[in-house]
Amino acid sequence: MTNHQPVNIVMIEDDEGHARLIEKNIRRAGISNRIHHFTDGTTALDYLYQSPEGPAQNGPALILLDLNLPDMSGIDILARIKAEGSPLKRTPVVVLTTTDDKVEIQRCYDLGCNVYITKPVNYESFADAIRQLGLFLSVIQVPDIGDAD
């Protein structure tokens, strides 16, 4: 984590249960960063780009993204974040979804996703994966938004 500003975790996940489980396990990994949770794509994008507290305006962030959202596909959000000229281009995106289709995975990496994790149905594996993600988050360096461009 950067020393001058805490990294916000933006979680875009339509399933409340999954969100709760993810949050629980991240906390268990010892991550105490603030987690902003959104259950649909529209409000999430609004927060990312428009909110004065959002990462586009204010400070580094890390995005946890589910692909199956009610109002749009997570792929669209990913494409928008990683598009040329986007202020969030360098913001790390972790795709965390149930889909393990090879084509889908390839597409996400092509679009610039940084990590792709399939949610294991088996809870022990799931908890394990999220905890490891937490550990990963504790060592990962996130660029300041000011560094962008």
Per CB under 8 A, 99 contacts other proteins: yes
Reduced to 3 states (helix: H, G, I; strand: E, B; else coil), residue 105 is helix
Instruction: Show the site string, 53-72: x = touches other proteins by CB under 8 A, - = not.
Output: ---------------x----
Coil, helix or strand for 43? Answer: helix
Q: How far apart are CA 58 and CA 55, in angstroms?
A: 5
Q: Candidates 4-12, 72-80, 115-123, 139-147 — which segment interacts with other proteins by CB under 8 A? A: 115-123
- Using a 10 angstrom Cβ sphere, with 0-12 exposed, 13-18 middle and 19 or more buried, the burial of residue 122 is exposed
Give every CB contact of residue 146 below 8 A, 6+ residues apart in sequence: none
Identify which range of 47-55, 75-83, 93-101, 135-143 contacts other proteins by CB under 8 A. Answer: 93-101
Cβ 92 to other proteins shortest distance, Å: 23
**Residue numbers at the binding site for other proteins (CB under 8 A):** 15, 17-18, 21, 24, 68, 98-99, 101, 119, 121-124, 126-127
